[in-house]
């Protein structure tokens, strides 16, 4: 008879700490040695916030980073794609509120050549007219696709209303169609020359670095990068005014619903308690909101509730989609549940803390995941040990501290509410 194997306790786990080196031009290297991870993930995090875009040129930051791998001075057009293929590299870029990030994944034995290509793309992009025209057309098509989805319209509108008027954080990250359509190659080249530089930038290299001189490779690739560019700080984000907003979508087959509150960032002492509270209320499949609105009422396939931090401040949101005919009932019941009149129980807190803490080792099991989280730390300017400290803080959350954090930040009566639906099919939402 075969004996069943025993289950051993989970070993202690902590997010890795990198080796750090800072170069003369202001660039800092974070090198994460992860044995057995032979595909390296390299993330370059530029201190280049969204509010660096010139007035009237919103979307230029997104088009610029998307054009970096279309050709350089030394490798124009398809030659750059061939060079990336030769080193087994894959490039991507993204723009956030606080930073611009460039990602390159490649085999560990190609680090020197790969970083040289990454530096080349970041420092000497060609911005050929044909490439810019194509990238702009892709972005305009993307805008059309996004605006055809009620879920996107609702989420974007919620952020617009939750932050103060006029702030870049309240508008679409990739720019809107009118401004994107007007952008020309000179706009991208000018933005790049004025904004891309190593000052305060962080290069993250994660993977198996056995026998690899990551410091030497980074220094060699980026040593000559020293343009007269100084980083800009992200604009302070301030809360908007709470309100209720109905956005009419002709012939929409469902209602997309968002509630939101202006929230906190990860440095706020209430952050661990808020994470646990949101998991209990709407972040887990067995949360209070899901149990009632999905399982008992059948209003929706599911709801979500999360906190999205900025570098300072943030957004707390609730999201659900439902049949238009049940939108009024869902809103009323959701707001009632969100009052959280029943205190959190010990079991609810244990379940939420267990999920948030015990899934971390699995979530950070690859070099790509470690590099992505390190990029988040760099973007938020958090300490290198922040992930491990945050997990320890979560483990100390109690029903009382979770409820205190929740009630200090979430007042259902003061929620900003956005409903995207066919207004003619809705009942009386009381929005006017």
Q: Under a CB-based contact definition with an 8 Å cutoff, are residues 213 and 33 in contact?
A: no
End-to-end CA distance of the chain: 72
The CATH number of the structural domain formed by 19-222 is: 3.30.830.10
How much is the pLDDT for 432? 56
What pLDDT, in 10s, does the model give residues 333-388?
999 999 999 999 999 999 999 999 998 888 999 999 999 999 999 999 999 999 99
Q: With DSSP H G I counted as helix, E B as strand and the rest as coil, what are the percentages for the chain, rounded to 5?
A: 45, 20, 35
In order of 22, 29, 66, 180, 281, the CA distances from 69 in angstroms are 26, 22, 7, 19, 43
DSSP codes joined into one string, 381-392: T--TTHHHHHHH
Q: Encoding tokens for residue 310?
A: 């900025």
**DSSP H or E segment with residue 394:** helix 386-395
**What's the topology of domain 244-425?**
Cytochrome Bc1 Complex; Chain A, domain 1 (3.30.830)
Q: Under a CB-based contact definition with an 8 Å cutoff, are residues 270 and 390 in contact?
A: no
* Section 127-154 average pLDDT: 97
Tell me the percentage of the chain whose pLDDT exceeds 70. 100
Separation CA 211–CA 371 (nearest Å): 20
How much is the pLDDT for 401? 98
How much is the pLDDT for 229? 78
How much is the pLDDT for 282? 95
What pLDDT, in 10s, does the model give residues 41-81?
999 999 999 999 999 999 999 999 999 999 999 999 999 99
What pLDDT, in 10s, does the model give residues 107-118?
999 999 999 999
User: Do the domains 19-222 and 244-425 sit in the same CATH topology, yes or no?
Assistant: yes
E-strand ranges in 291-332 read 303-309, 314-323
How much is the pLDDT for 1? 64
- Domain spans of the chain, in order of start: 19-222, 244-425
């Amino acid at each position: 008879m075969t004996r069943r194997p025993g289950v051993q306790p989970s070993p202690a786990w902590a997010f890795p700490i990198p080796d750090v080196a800072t170069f003369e031009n202001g660039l800092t290297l974070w090198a994460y040695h992860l044995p057995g991870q032979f595909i390296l993930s390299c993330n370059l995090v530029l201190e280049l916030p969204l509010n660096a875009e010139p007035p009237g040129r919103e979307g230029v930051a997104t088009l610029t980073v998307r054009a970096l791998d279309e050709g350089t001075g030394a490798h124009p057009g398809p030659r750059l794609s061939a060079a990336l293929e030769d080193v087994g590299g894959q490039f991507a870029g993204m723009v956030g509120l606080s930073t611009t990030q460039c990602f390159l994944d490649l085999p560990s034995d190609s680090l020197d050549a790969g970083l040289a290509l990454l530096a080349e793309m970041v420092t000497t992009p060609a911005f050929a007219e044909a490439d810019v025209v194509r990238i702009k057309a892709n972005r305009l098509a993307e805008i059309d696709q996004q605006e055809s989805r009620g879920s996107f319209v609702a989420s974007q509108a919620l952020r617009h209303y939750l932050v103060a008027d006029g702030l870049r954080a309240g508008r679409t990250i990739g720019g809107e169609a009118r401004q994107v359509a007007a952008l020309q190659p000179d706009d991208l080249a000018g933005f790049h020359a004025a904004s891309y530089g190593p000052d305060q930038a962080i290069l993250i290299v994660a993977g198996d670095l056995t026998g690899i001189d990551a410091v030497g490779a980074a220094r060699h690739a980026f040593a000559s990068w020293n343009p007269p560019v100084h980083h800009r700080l992200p604009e302070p984000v301030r809360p908007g005014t709470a309100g209720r907003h109905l956005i009419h979508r002709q012939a929409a087959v469902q209602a997309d619903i968002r509630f939101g509150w202006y929230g906190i960032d990860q440095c706020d002492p209430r952050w661990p308690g808020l994470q646990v509270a949101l998991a209990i209320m709407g972040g887990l499949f067995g949360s209070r909101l899901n149990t009632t609105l999905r399982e008992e009422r059948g209003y929706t396939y599911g709801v979500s509730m999360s906190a999205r931090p900025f570098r300072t401040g943030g957004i707390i949101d609730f999201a659900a989609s439902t049949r238009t005919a049940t939108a009024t009932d869902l809103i009323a019941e959701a707001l009632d549940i969100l009052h959280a009149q029943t205190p959190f129980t010990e079991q609810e807190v244990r379940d939420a803390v267990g999920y948030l803490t015990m899934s971390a080792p699995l979530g950070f099991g690859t070099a790509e995941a470690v590099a992505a989280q390190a990029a988040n730390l760099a973007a938020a300017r958090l300490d290198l040990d922040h992930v491990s400290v945050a997990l320890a803080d979560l483990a100390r959350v109690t029903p009382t501290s979770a409820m205190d954090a929740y009630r200090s930040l979430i007042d259902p009566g003061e929620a900003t509410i956005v409903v995207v639906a066919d207004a003619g099919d809705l009942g009386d939402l009381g929005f006017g």
